[in-house]
Structure 1
Amino acid sequence: MPQLSRFPQFKEKSAAFKEPPLGLYLYPVLQVSDILLYKGTHVPIGDDQLAHLNLAKHITGKFNNTFKTNIFPIPKEVLPKSGAGRVKSLRAPEKKMSKSEADAKSRIELTDSSDDIIRKIRKSVTDMKSAITYDPAERPGVSNLIQIYSIISGLSTEQVCEQFAGKETLQLKVELGELLAEYLKPIRKRILEYSSDRHYLETVLKDGAAKATTIAEETFTQVQQVIGS
């Protein structure tokens, strides 16, 4: 329980409640059950979810040791390349980019049009300095844009700064907007194609649910046998 109460996400989100709901407190445990029920071995996460996966490792190890079994593999984290796991908000760069943020201009949606992407990048919050320098602590806004450019282009943040040496922040925004719009265009196209084929999506969901149910039932039976219920 103390471990759950120390999660940064719990502290941040519980601040909005006079009495935090139980669901908010137990959410990390629910995440663990989602992993263990299907015997997940590798879990793709962002940097901010590492504490949650460490909890999954702890609970998995404790269960296996308690009941002298190896039913559950210890899950391993799959982290994105440097910086890609913690892209910041375009409107409040001190916070991570989130789909739950009320302001739609704070994030890039995979279904955003090219014009929307370019517009959001141009309106992103930076600072009063015009030079392009990477300093996440002192210049979170422009550093976030540099980081995004680095992820998309494959250049290091140092190389991005060198590429924009002598240019102003506006030029970075213009070029990043166009680069990002082009990068996401085929992804958006594929999403729209799938979204328009209702029969295909329903088939995938039905088949996936059947496979998941089979695995879950087998796992549940094994757990009952191990704990003697």
Structure 2
Amino acid sequence: MTCPKPRLQALLSAWNAPQRSNAGFSRVPSTLRKLHGTAKCAEEAIDTSTRRHKVIFSGIQPTGIPHLGNYFGALANWVKLQRNAAPEDELLFSVVGWHALTLPQDPKALQQARMDMMALLLAVGIDPKRSIVFHQDHIQNHTELAWILSCITPTGKLRRMTTWKTRLAVSRNANDESEVDDSLLNTGLFTYPVLQAADILAYKATHVPVGDDQQQHLELTRDIAEGFNRAYKTPSRLFPLPEYMTTPSKRILSLKDPSAKMSKSAVDPNSRIVLTDTPAQIKSKIRGATTDSIQGITYDPVARPGTSNLLSILAACTDDDVLEVAKRYHNRNHGDLKADVTEVVEETFRKPRAEFERLRGETEYLTQIAEEGAAKARSRSDATLREVRHRVGLA
């Protein structure tokens, strides 16, 4: 391994430092009061702050190579969770193939994308010896539990999900959500939050790392779990109410339109940096990123969204505070900022990109990892489904 350039070495000083702990993950009482608004609900909820161990679950769709926003919003956070987890904690990370079917897919492309995503999870640092890594669609318990939970979930709750119309609208590049006719939306788009709840509850997960755009779905999961616990409360409450584990990184925005988050579905490929981009592509995309003509560098997401987005990317790559990063660039220009962002992004993606390219061709190994992970996940979810079937009268 060669030593980084002097400027890059300074920028990455935080990279080799001990990771900061995520102390906010276990603040149970305040989280419960925020969700339900009453002390009574907080008292009734299962207290995971004193639980012997955590069960952490999260999933990622196998559609498209993850971009910089996906990496810092989910994947890098999963690796940190794995590294900081207590020995008794359980971690489950799933490639959620069934969720991908809510939009049209080419079967061969989806099959390859599923394999690629498994390779990518391993490439970024998910260790199958420490975490359970598996394909959601290998475990039939997810769909069975989703059907049972859908039978106790009011349609009114699903209609309030802000994503059920916008996902299709975005896929069609619609500018106005109201332009989408309800009759054109498939049932899967309407009910997939229930499947998402089943993904989590099948393992009695106590903690779920989610971004801002998925918090409403986790609230629904908690509502569904609480509804099941009330309806089938004998001999005891079956499901814990999973807690939020919010990512500590800032939201990464589009390089071309910093009013929107970085997206796989954006028409302009130069709006995002994906893990497989070459150094030349990364340099070109960052050099062409939208900024402004104001002299000096300051962090102001409202007045200077493009400049602030580059500062956020730099802070995320160096694991530093964005305001501290902004202070160091106060008397510098956008050229300096873009050059430094280019270097740290390339250094961040260099090893995962090389490992991904190596692993994606090892089909037998990836299949073996997926099968071993599925066996572990099936064993755990089988136990949950036996309890569920017994309680609803299907044992």
**TM value normalised by structure 1:** 0.89
Instruction: State the superposition RMSD in angstroms.
Output: 1.9
The one-character-per-residue Cα deviations of 1:65-101 (angstroms, maximum 9, x if unpaired) are 2210322222122211141xx2111122111112233
Q: Which secondary structure does the structure 1 equivalent of 2:208 belong to?
A: strand
Separation of aligned partners in 2, 1:214 and 1:67:
23
Larger relative contact order (C-alpha < 8 A, sep ≥ 6)?
Answer: 2
Does structure 1 retain, via aligned residues, the 8 Å contact 2:301–2:309? yes
How far apart are residue 11 of structure 1 and its match?
4.8
Shift of 1:187: 1.5
Please name the residue that 1:122 is paired with. Answer: 287
Residues 1:78 and 2:232 aligned together: no
Partner of 1:133: 298
Alignment counterpart, residue 369 of structure 2, candidates 204, 213, 216: 204
Q: Distance in 1 between matches of 2:165 and 2:292?
A: 29
Task: Report if aligned partners of 2:206, 2:240 keep a CA contact under 8 Å in 1.
Answer: yes
Please list, as runs of the form range in 1=range in 2, the aligned pairs for 1:91-170 lying within 5 A after superposition: 91-170=256-335
Question: Cα offset for 1:108?
Answer: 1.8
Work out the CA distance in 2 between the residues paired with 1:38 and 1:111.
33
Is the CA contact (8 Å cut-off) linking 1:88 and 1:144 kept in structure 2? yes
Indicate which of 168, 173, 180 corresponds to 1:17: 180
The residue type equivalent to 2:160 in the other structure is: R
Alignment partner, residue 46 of structure 1: 211
- Between the aligned partners of 1:120 and 1:134, the Cα distance in structure 2 is 21
| Separation in structure 2 between the aligned mates of residue 210 and residue 78 of structure 1, nearest angstrom | 26
CA distance in 2, matches of 1:12, 1:126: 28
| SS of residue paired to 2:244 | strand
- Contact 1:132/1:168 (8 A) holds in 2: yes
What residue is the counterpart of 2:120 in the other structure?
none
Pairing 1:168-187 to 2, within 5 Å after superposition = 168-187=333-352
For residue 37 of structure 1, report the CA deviation from its aligned partner.
Answer: 1.7
- Normalization by structure 2: what TM-score? 0.54
Q: Tell me, what secondary structure is at the counterpart of 2:180?
A: coil
Number of positions where the alignment pairs a residue of Structure 1 with one of Structure 2? 227
Larger mean Cα displacement after TM superposition, 15-24 or 44-53: 15-24
Aligned partner (choices 192, 215, 224) of residue 357 of structure 2? 192
Stretches (4+) displaced over 4 A: none
TM-superposed deviation, 1:210: 2.3
3-state SS of 1:101 partner:
coil
**Alpha carbons of 1:79 and 1:197: their partners in 2 closer, same or farther (altered >3 Å)?**
same
Residues 31-61 of structure 1 show CA distances to partners (whole Å, capped at 9, x for unaligned) of 1111112222221211221111111111111
Q: Structure 1 vs Structure 2: percent identity of aligned residues?
A: 37
Shift of 1:202: 1.0
CA contact (8 A) 1:114 1:182 kept: no
In the aligned structure 2, how far is the partner of 1:208 from the partner of 1:137? 44
Q: Gaps (5+ residues) in structure 1?
A: none
Match of 1:33 in 2: 198
Q: Is the 8 A contact 1:5 1:11 kept in 2?
A: no
Rounded Cα–Cα distance in structure 2 between residues aligned with 1:53 and 1:150: 28
C-alpha separation in 2, matches of 1:173 and 1:221: 55
- Which residue identity is paired with 1:27? Y
